[in-house]
Amino acid sequence: MKMRLFTTVVLAACALGSARADDADPPARAARLSEVDGTVSLQPAGLQDWTAATPNRPLTAGDRLWSDQDARAELDLGDGVVRLGSNTGFAFFALDDTTAQMQLTGGSLIVRVRDLQPNEIYEIDTPNLAVSLQQPGEYRVDVSERGDATAVQVADGAALVAGGGQQMMIGTRQGGTFSGTDALTYTNSGLAAEDGLDVWSGTRDEARDASTSAQYVAPDVPGTADLDNNGSWQQLPDYGWVWTPAVVVAGWAPYRFGRWLWVSPWGWTWVDDAPWGYAPFHYGRWIGCRNTWCWVPGPRQLRPVYAPAQVGWASGAATIGWFPLAPRELYVPAGPVTTSYLRRVNLANSAGIAASEFAGAARTLPALPHYLNARPAALSSVAPDVFTSGQRVSARTLRAPVGATSFVAMAPALVPTRQSVLGPAEGHGVPRPPPTQLRRAVVVRRQPPPAPVPFDKLTAAIQANSGRLPAHSELAQLQPAGPAAVVRAVSAGAITTSGAQSMMGLAERERLLEQRRLGTAAPPRAPVAASAPRAAAAVTASIRANAFVPPDLSEERVPAVPGSRAPSAPAGADPVPRAVGVAAQSAVRGSAAAPVAPPYRPSLPAEAELVTEPPAEAADRAAAPALPPPAAAAVPAAAQAGSPPPAAQSSARQGSHPQPNTPPHPAGQEARQSAPHADRESRERVLR
């Protein structure tokens, strides 16, 4: 009966919010600003002002960062991580369930992708080229101070580089510098020596790869590694594995020590003060257990879905109150959403809610549903001006009597102010990027979405809608026509013939010079017309025969068992820690360091070997010359006789730490093993 009541609340909230099937839902992920070292500034989407970037703030499309001199920053996307070096200008063109499109106008960027689904896009757009990441791996992109040269290095993986009407593939342990804008000049330089940013990035990766909390939480939940040294895990009969913070102040309760900020498109968003305060406040639920608080993560076999705050709301006399939701209590977004999104965001964050609970509910709205945590010890309240000004609420919390408070599922109807986005300081004296960087155009392969709605227009629309977020279709009419920056698009299909000949001419000249040095001669390879579909398919098949694209693992994966996941990678599962150096990396990977070699064009296979490929994909790669893979080298005997394989280690670890009992994934909810590339551990073993 209790679940029926809450289901009725949710469906009624959807009706009151006027959610329609054609309305776009909020993204299922956000980027956590997980580390700030030095002075880092933020320009929130829709505003022209800058403010200090603070840890645990969620970032999304339209947000812009500037890391000042000797500063660094880290963004955790769940299935990937982005790290900014010193004097770096960065922005998100798009960040949603399938796309992470980034703008790099200057400075250095390291991107490590742990999992790349077949329909997922990672793109880095710079002033003279666009870099599309093709595989999980580690990538570094550096843009010169003038913005006329971009260095791309691939420590592991494969990247498609496009610009100046040309495109080419860069594979594992290869790199080079692309100069110019209208026509690119490529210098093959291999991997550069490690600098401070590489060492810092490698240290951060090692800490995450060694996380013990990853065996209890879905891998794509940002901030999981921060739970290791700040609490402990225990198993409860009704909830499975739960996490308890180790040290908290007197009177601590979830969602009490932090502040509320407005982050579009979700609305009121909780930003916690604790270093570990991200995953437990945007995913899962909280319960009181054994005179303390315990965080219950969502089902581990489901893809996580981000929420701005997993809370219920309380309204009293001149106060705004909230409390943490308990397991099996439903979260209701502040704006209009589809029933599909409502189902996903709840099932991904609370075990024990059956999919059938969302159907067949009664049509009446109960007046006062019961919440487990709606009690004085868990309830926090502040004055409305404190709530909307971005101030920290811990010292301003009002203890309102529960009996005088009414509980609701949706966030309060309040119009945000500029302080709601920037915080109380409003960015006075915050460093900003040079104007030349802000005005730089970038090259894109994927056309970015329109820029976010200007904040003044957004607040006017919310005011006209009685303090509620309007429907997405209404907000879309307020968006600017173009993206947030000036862009130059490159063809997403086949490149022009002249562009292909230009890139091939450079490759052929380098190849002929190398042949003359070695005293050999060979006739030049004839250029391949990009308009020939069968030839394009053959070129793509030949490119895929190199080490850049891993084999299809769909037949080698462990069969999916309902309610289970693929074995987790052991602690320190990164195949090559950056700190061990180039020589050790080559030994671990079982391959020699790639020599400085020119790119080459794979020869066409025989007619019988031509591979059929979708026209769009064939056009994308038709004239993309691939760099040669590194020469194979024997693995030392010590490495062969070392630690057991990842599967054995994972089994041993899982035996000492039982997995929580989680139900099979419900119909309509995407299981993480459903995609061909979801078996991340098998992929890493092959790439070694």
Omega cis (within 30) before 265? yes
Which structure tokens are listed for 191?
Answer: 């991997």
pLDDT at 554: 35
pLDDT at 400: 60
DSSP state, residue 591: B
Q: Are 89 and 106 contacting, i.e. CB atoms less than 8 angstroms apart?
A: yes
Q: One-letter amino acid identity for 97?
A: D
Per-position DSSP letters for 495-536, written without gaps between them: PPHHHHHHHHHHHHHHHHHHHHHHT---PPPPPPPTT-HHHH
At 385 the three-state DSSP class reads helix
Rounded to whole angstroms, how far apart are CA atoms 85 and 65? Answer: 11
pLDDT at 246: 93
Q: Are 343 and 668 contacting, i.e. CB atoms less than 8 angstroms apart?
A: yes
Kindly list the domain boundaries of the chain, sorted by start residue.
2-18+220-336+345-416, 30-193+431-448+483-552+563-688
End-to-end CA distance of the chain: 53
pLDDT at 543: 33
Name residue, tokens 């155009």. Answer: 441
Per-position DSSP letters for 231-272, written without gaps between them: EEEEEETTTEEEEEES---TT--TT-SEEEEEETTTEEEEEE
CA-closest candidate to residue 38, choices 70, 66, 83: 70
Rounded to whole angstroms, how far apart are CA atoms 301 and 218? Answer: 7
Rounded to whole angstroms, how far apart are CA atoms 298 and 123? Answer: 29
Rounded to whole angstroms, how far apart are CA atoms 453 and 476? Answer: 8
Rounded to whole angstroms, how far apart are CA atoms 601 and 539? Answer: 9
Rounded to whole angstroms, how far apart are CA atoms 61 and 94? Answer: 5
Q: Are 108 and 85 contacting, i.e. CB atoms less than 8 angstroms apart?
A: yes
Regions of the chain where pLDDT drops below 70: 1-23, 317, 353-369, 399-405, 425-427, 491-688
Phi/psi class of residue 78: alpha, beta or left (left: φ > 0; alpha: ψ in -120 to 50)?
A: left
What are the Cα distances from residue 16, in Å, to 12, 13, 126, 332, 365? 6, 5, 44, 12, 11
pLDDT in tens, 34-62: 999 999 999 999 999 999 999 999 999 99
pLDDT at 512: 47
pLDDT at 348: 94
Angle of helix 646-656 versus helix 680-687 axis, rounded to 10 = 140
